[in-house]
Chains A and B, each alone.
Chain A
Amino acid sequence: MEKKEPEEPYDAMADRIKTMIREMPQIQPPVRLLPAVMEAVKAKRGPLWLRAYRWARSPISVTFTPLRLVSAMALSALLVFSAFFLHERQNRNITLAESHKSIPVVFALDMPDAHSVQVIGSFNNWVPQPCELRKDNGAVRWILTVSLQPGRYEYAFLVDRKHMPHPHAELYQDDGFGDKNSVLALLIADSHVPVEVSAQKAQTDVTHAVEEARKAAIDDATLKGLLALGYEKGVEPESMANLVRIVSEVKMENLPLEPFVSKIKEGMAKGVPAGTIERVLNQKRQDYQFTRLVAADYLKKNGLPQEVAFEELVAFTESLYSGLSREDLTHTMEQSPTASLSILNRAVHLRASLKQLEFDEKLSDQIVSTGLEHNFFTPQQCGFARAIVAGKRKGLSDSKIAEAALLTMRNGGTVAGFCSQIGISSSDMTQHGPQIISPTCSMTGT
């Protein structure tokens, strides 16, 4: 509705100009304009995709009723109790609060000449977080400090917008798209309750795929996140439907969703074609199925009547992208005496680090088997792999490192003791790779 403007005094000239502008003849647009536009928009992403996107952008509503609140509190109590029980059973000397609290992690890169440095990773949905250029320990470095929950993360730097894995990470992993990511393993907590869902036949378009995903009990927040990103990154609706369908199938197969969802987000953020993302997801799915079988077999053989927790399954499977083969994985399990999967995972992580360092194979095998035999791979010794990496980078021979490592493990020593044996200081540890500020993972800790 047009507002009435104050009347101006009559001005013949102004009125004449206004009238002429109003009646000014238009140039006729080309006849081909309408068909060209319609042809182009029909070839674009379908309106169903638009509808899916609108849904994806709508806010997520959470309703609490007093009854639900009571149930939620009861469930929390149960989870805390279960976690405490598991925690005690594995005889860890860390408190429950410590195992769940955020750990500050500092990413630092010594490239002061770069114009911009950002960090992308599974902890920030692969959305670049800028680093600050500042003085740190006398050197000018690009720094980013984040707070992370215990877990396993993949990350990389974007140096002047170019992908670059951390030059001094303790472990790398193929991203499946032709690049490498660095791996950061923070103390893994135990607890997960898998959900049983019934299988549904998948359809091809986005809305059907979304409906099926919701039936498979995938939460709206996850779906909305994927759809919104897919739309914004220009993913074709058929491809998006396929990606959502794979996620639904993963959920129905009772595999952990997070690595798959994160891989899709990573692929989209890196501009990887949807077909390649699909291929990577299918390979990942097979790897997860394989690892679950192997881990369940290990538990059964060793008389451990527990299920394979998602966190453990993720760590085992993702090690396959850090240079370990399926044979390496089964070999490590075969040589292990009865141990929890989390301890076995630390052994696998160490084996992957040693392999990437091109550490002597026989010595690697000896270090891993001795560690397992002497129950050395506890959370308190989680800096062990980093210490070996630091020693190797300092130019120490494999045999010298192995000798000190074996001695430490056999005598029930600590990582700090191992470091002093091979002449590694805490600054050697912190100047390479991400710096983890945690009492349970520090060099001077237990």
Chain B
Amino acid sequence: MSLPDGNENGNDSQLIAAILEGDVNAYSTLVLRYQGAIFNLMFRMTDSYEDAGDLAQETFIKAYEQLHRFQRGKKFFPWLYTIGLNHALNFLRHNKRMQWVSLEDCEIGSELDYPCQQEEDICAKLDYGQLHAGLNQLPLDYREAIMLRYHEGLSMDEVAEAMTLKLSAAKMRVHRGLAKLRSILEKNQNGKERT
């Protein structure tokens, strides 16, 4: 799954230019294009369908209000995502629902060293329920980095832009996030088999 490239009904830059020239309705194409990604980001952040809907709506309204600040030549989605992520973080802070998991506390464990055969078994048994649970156990900085990279199909440069990181830091987030997720998935499956 990756984001549409935006050529069907005009690319993002053309749409933004049209909106700034007075065509408000052009914004609906942008909303349609990115509502799935933004809503799912909010759902991951809040685990609530209602809150995710409200936060997604507020994110699109905020982006519209800030559209004059959008730099030409940049990609719209990373910019929109930054607004959404900050908005969600503010919401969580305000509602005291922020669960801080320090990245340092979450270093990649090498304690689980499975033999090759066992890894193949884990691989074969992996389903979306387990993946979802594993993603939820990741610190959000890791989780969002790997979601942007692999689910939304962003380049490393765009991941860095969306998360306001340097390119090297973004690469590290994705790499470590993936390793940590793998470790969590292996641990979860191992625990399940023991019970």
Contact = CB atoms under 8 A, between A and B. Distances in A.
Contacts, number: 124
A40 B57 contact: yes
Contacts of B171: 5
Contact of A16 (B38, B123, B147): B123
B150 A18 contact: yes
Given A33-B56, A47-B20, A47-B23, A54 B68 contact: yes
B103 interface: no
Given A14-B178, A33-B35, A44 B155 contact: no
B166 interface: no
B176 to A, nearest CB: 13
B20 A50 contact: yes
A42 to B, nearest CB: 6
A18 B126 CA distance: 12
A13 interface: yes
B140 interface: no
B68 A50 contact: yes
Nearest to A16: B123
Interface in B51-80: 53, 56-57, 60-61, 64-65, 67-68
By secondary structure, the B interface counts as: helix
B163 interface: no
A23 B155 CA distance: 17
A30 B40 CA distance: 11
A22 B153 contact: yes
Contact of B57 (A23, A26, A27, A36): A36
B136 interface: no
A42 B61 CA distance: 10
B192 to A, nearest CB: 17
14 contacts: A3-B155, A16-B126, A17-B131, A21-B147, A22-B151, A23-B1, A29-B39, A29-B40, A33-B39, A34-B28, A36-B57, A40-B61, A46-B22, A51-B20
B126 A20 contact: yes
A38 B56 contact: no
A50 B150 contact: no
Interface in B6-39: 19-25, 27-28, 31-32, 35-39
**The 8 nearest A-B residue pairs measured at CB:** A29-B39, A2-B155, A21-B150, A37-B60, A47-B22, A41-B64, A30-B53, A29-B35
Interface of B: 1-2, 19-25, 27-28, 31-32, 35-40, 43, 49, 53, 56-57, 60-61, 64-65, 67-68, 119-120, 122-123, 126, 128, 131-132, 146-147, 150-151, 153, 155-157, 171, 178, 181-182, 185
Interface string A319-354: 000000000000000000000000000000000000
A369 B178 CA distance: 87
Contact of B151 (A24, A34, A48, A53): A24
Nearest to B158: A2
Q: Chain B CB within 10 Å — which of A14, A38, A41, A53 has the most?
A: A41
A12 interface: yes
B18 to A, nearest CB: 9
A279 interface: no
A46 B25 CA distance: 12
By secondary structure, the A interface counts as: helix
Interface of A: 1-3, 5, 12-14, 16-18, 20-30, 32-34, 36-38, 40-42, 44-48, 50-51, 53-54, 57
A14 B183 CA distance: 11
Nearest to B151: A21
Contact of B56 (A20, A24, A29): A29
Contact of A17 (B132, B156, B182): B182
Given A33-B39, A47-B21, A14 B182 contact: yes
A262 B159 CA distance: 44
Contacts of B156: 2-3, 5
B57 A28 contact: no
Contacts of B185: 17
Nearest to A234: B65
Given A33-B56, A44-B64, A24 B31 contact: no
Contact of A47 (B19, B132, B147): B19
A34 B32 contact: yes
A33 B31 contact: yes
B182 A37 contact: no
Contacts of A38: 24-25, 27-28, 31
Contacts of A23: 1
A34 B181 CA distance: 33
Contacts of B20: 47, 50-51, 54
A310 B8 CA distance: 59
Contacts of A33: 31, 35, 39, 53, 56-57, 60
B1 A17 contact: no
Contact of A24 (B1, B37, B64): B1
Contacts of B28: 34, 37-38
Contacts of B128: 20, 24-25
Given A21-B131, A41-B64, A26 B1 contact: yes
Contacts of A37: 27-28, 31, 57, 60-61, 64
Nearest to A55: B68
A219 B120 CA distance: 73
B100 to A, nearest CB: 24
Nearest to B132: A24
A16 B181 CA distance: 12
A57 B1 contact: no
Contacts of A57: 68
